[in-house]
Amino acid sequence: MWDYSEKLKEHFFNPRNVGEIPNPDADATVGNLMCGDALHLMLRVDKDERIVDAKFQTFGCASAIASASALTEMVKGMTIEEASKLTNDDIVEFLDGLPAAKVHCSVMGMEALQKAIANFRGERAKPEDEGQIVCECFGVTDKLIEKVVRQHNLKTVEEVTQYTKVGGGCGKCHEQIEAIIAKVHGLAPAAVPTPPGGHRLTNIQRIRMIEDVVDKQIRPMLRQDGGDIELVDVDRNRVYVAMRGRCAGCPVSGVTLQKVVQEKLRELVAPDIEVEEVKD
């Protein structure tokens, strides 16, 4: 269960400024409905460039709704210039904190605000500013990853996932994320387990590597959204697991099992691995 502040819960159960502004002076849509988070922010601006109204529509979790509600409350009465200086940390502080795995909701809010302000000013993003997609699951670019790594001094893939959700799906982009972290901070990318070169894995080696991948690669991804996994048994090339937390009974747990768990084990341990779920 997430540890939500009382203020966050208040903005979730009673969100402010939900709705639409007809013909807004500035608006922006960010996020991706395929990953469960999307935000449409609309602003009404007067002749003095002061934000006189702000509304939003969002599809997402409690933290996404609360972050958008907080953002609209914060910007009303500000000038466009004042609003442009806000950061996602200001949203987190306004809500008396966000769970670490939900900080990306505040980043989504700031991305919407920045795009809306650019829209108001008639600015168009340059192609080089848009960046290349690193995470296909959530549509996150290398430029956004670089930005949050610099702003928040992030050092690990898990931290980047908390701020952007990148890498929280299939996990195939982890090496690219590590390369971006290395580029920004000069850190060596984290080593991942690999089979002994040119040698057939022994049963003990295989089991140990499976345990390592589950603990260090798979479980952290699932925990970002309240899920978890338990390694139940290993029988030759068959790996038996139990889905825990929010993954247990989730309607898309079968996809998670095949596209996240099985593919990651095949990539890092052995290509013949088959994963089966054990039901309690």
- Do residues 117 and 80 lie in contact, with contact meaning Cβ atoms separated by under 8 Å? yes
φ, ψ for residue 176 (rounded to 5)?
-65, -40
Taking each continuous run of H as one helix and of E as one strand, the counts in the chain are: 13, 8
Are 20 and 42 a contacting pair, CB within 8 Å? Answer: yes
Task: Give the separation between CA 42 and CA 62, rounded to whole angstroms.
Answer: 20
Is 105 assigned a catalytic role?
Answer: yes
φ, ψ for residue 7, nearest 5 deg: -70, -40
152 vs 159: CA distance, rounded Å: 9
Backbone φ and ψ for 203, nearest 5 degrees, come out as: -60, -40
Residue 123 tokens read as 């600015």
Strand order in the sheet with 238-245: 227-235, 238-245, 274-277
Q: Which helix (H) or strand (E) holds 182?
A: helix 174-185
Q: How far is CA 5 from CA 8, 74, 90, 223, in A?
A: 5, 18, 15, 20
Catalytic residue of the set 105, 135, 170, 173:
105
Q: Is 247 a catalytic residue?
A: no
Longest dimension (CA), the chain: 73
Q: List residues with catalytic annotation.
A: 35, 105
